[in-house]
Structure 1
């Protein structure tokens, strides 16, 4: 069953999926409303991710259209070597086979991740959270319709409506071959998958991102970047959680106070290290362990540092390996910071909120990897591939 589908077939399914999402727009919102009504939790970030409104559906449709128009990521030549014995040796990209995605609450992942995996020639197993089950099943119904109308087996996109025990059993003893698992969600979910999976896992989705305001920062830019990073969307892994201010900055106290006042105006709870809580009336952090935490909430920690090296060391110690930004007019200092901070994305004078496949020109992402194998940061269509060696001979023996 899992032979590679021709690219025309894959694109036809994606284009049809875009049309079906438009046709079923009203039904999709009605079904999603039932999920929202059933959601009894008090997790604001989770609820935001669960909602399917017109803007989200527009995004789903756009991602299907973009995927359909992108180059085929499979069969791309990566290396070519002519052996002295006459053999031709070529390395080309190849599909993984079957990819399983485990995620929480976001029905748009059922569209986007499904589309990226399918376009890159893979069978896709979707395991969504119970809070979005009705929305997910409705979207998978559309996937199956798009597949059937193109005479393709519906098994290419499969929804695993499993509870926790069933999921664990599947991870430990899969009832079918799974080549790669991508968990998208909180740390508990990722730890659960890593513990039980028997195949490679790409770790995705933990943020805890830092902004470092260097002594040569443009302070208007710094303030805008901090406010945007923290308040534009609290429920995403590219949101901002920590700020370090260089005490060599002229009037750093005034800048810190102004930043804190603006954050508080936007209902952000601000905590400070010892020197910040001294100069501004904010609670002092109880322990350094909070520097490790990802908040996904209207909450931020602001601290001070007295050197670029100290800032780099602190970020490397505590951050989640996702994104870090330096605000400075000094390009040499920025370059040194960017080369030495160990995160998937490093920025100069811009918000961490851009770490995203769509924003980086990949046309969406399957996940944002904080692992170093085999791809780091947003994993787009062109990264969801493995590779394969093709050797053409005429009787050579060694």
Structure 2
């Protein structure tokens, strides 16, 4: 394995990359426009993720600059002791080696996720979707220029322009070393990678996030929370798809009507269980399988529940293990909910839209893991490392 670039080199590459993106923002947007013009699908979330505008370009620049200012995640001492025979034993963080990121639609992954993996001392293999090829290739050109600025080889960031068949063959029989795979996309992509991969995979799984409105909720807060979670960004994995309303909520009739009105203002399709389908604007659930679905669309399911335990049980049965929120003034009930719900991020009186590496203080994210090994939730710099033991002796033998 090629020696890891030192922290000064890695930071210099990140800052140079930010500079190059700023200089080439119009070129990137033009390349992206080719991808948008070629996109023939009707998936709103896919289109939203694919689009690169001035705000997204600025987000890429900001992410790189923030990354360059973060502490080096490598060589951090996790544990140390002196053996009874005099050996000095240390455990320190170390890079994985080579990280393969397979993703759909999002050109910003080519900057932000790759940047995190690079800062963590890893070589990067990028396999983007065909729908964002022009955007991705333009960004990779800039990566190579940034690497050249510190006289580093361009194979620190490699783009794999493979079709599905060639990708499958690579996953099953890699033609170069791969230590970790991170799929970023829908359930079909994740299932495809898990089926064929021959090395560890971090699963950035489905959202399908729930909000439970407890009977001691602040109704106005609950309304704002749900509308933000559902409509702020429908393509986000931290968006809200399901709402459970306590049947004993005071002024429940007014709350439900206000919720329906607010959702309809955003053209959200509302589907409800038998207790809520009496409202004209609410369609009746036809199949309980809908409780499992992640929508990534202007669509929501609302249902009634009898208590905290029932809400917890329903969320644990149907959610994607991503994020869940409770709205209540009762701290004890909130604590019980947060301890018992089996999700990577749990919220009390706050929006699930905060499940994001930047928002949770990580300076960005590679992915949001719904697995429990080796890291759960947003994966930042400090998580994209493994560890290594360093033992210093003076001739000790066992």
Q: How does 1:360-379 map to 2 (within 5 A)?
A: 360-379=360-379
Check conservation: 1:291, 1:318, Cα contact below 8 A.
yes
Give, in angstroms, the shift of residue 241 of structure 1.
0.1
Q: Which residue of 1 aligns with 2:238?
A: 238
Match of 2:163 in 1: 163
Q: What is the Cα deviation at residue 251 of structure 1?
A: 2.1
Q: Is it true that 1:260 corresponds to 2:260 in the alignment?
A: yes
Instruction: Provide the C-alpha distance between the structure 1 equivalents of 2:319 and 2:265, rounded to a whole number of angstroms.
Output: 26
Shift of 1:280: 5.4
Structure 1 residue 266, shift from structure 2 partner: 1.0
Which 4+ residue blocks in structure 1 deviate beyond 2 angstroms?
Answer: 278-281
Q: Which residue of 2 aligns with 1:330?
A: 330
Q: Distance in 1 between matches of 2:294 and 2:26?
A: 35
1:104 and 1:128 in contact (8 A); partners too: yes
2:87 paired residue number: 87
Partner of 1:192, secondary structure, is helix
Structure 1: gaps (5+ residues): none
1:217-272 CA distance string (max 9 Å, x none): 00000000000000111001000000000012112222112111210121000000
- Residue 292 of structure 2 corresponds to which residue in structure 1? 292
Report the Cα distance in structure 2 between the residues aligned to 1:275 and 1:258, rounded to whole angstroms. Answer: 16
Shift of residue 301, structure 1, vs aligned partner:
0.2
Output the TM-score relative to the length of structure 1.
Answer: 0.99
Taking a change above 3 Å as real, the CA distance of residues 94 and 273 of structure 1, as seen in their structure-2 partners, is same
The answer (yes or no) to whether the contact 1:117–1:384 under 8 Å persists in 2 is yes
8 Å Cα contact 2:260-2:281 kept in structure 1 = no
My pick for the range that moved more, 283-292 or 369-378, is 283-292
Root-mean-square deviation (Å): 0.8
Could you tell me how far apart the structure 1 residues matched to 2:182 and 2:122 are?
13
Q: How far apart, in 1, do the equivalents of 2:252 and 2:290 lie?
A: 23
The residue matched to 1:313 in structure 2 has which SS? Answer: helix
TM-score between both structures, scaled by the size of structure 2: 0.99
| Other-structure match for 2:273 | 273
Question: What are the residue-to-residue correspondences of 1:1-398 with 2, within 5 Å?
Answer: 2-279=2-279, 281-398=281-398
The alpha-carbon deviation at position 40 of structure 1 amounts to 1.1
For 2:227, what is the secondary structure of its paired residue? helix
Contiguous gaps of at least 5 residues in structure 2: none
Deviation at 1:193, TM superposition (A): 0.1
For residues 161-201 of structure 1, the C-alpha deviation after alignment (integer angstroms, 9 at most, x for no partner) is: 00000100000000011000000000000000000000000
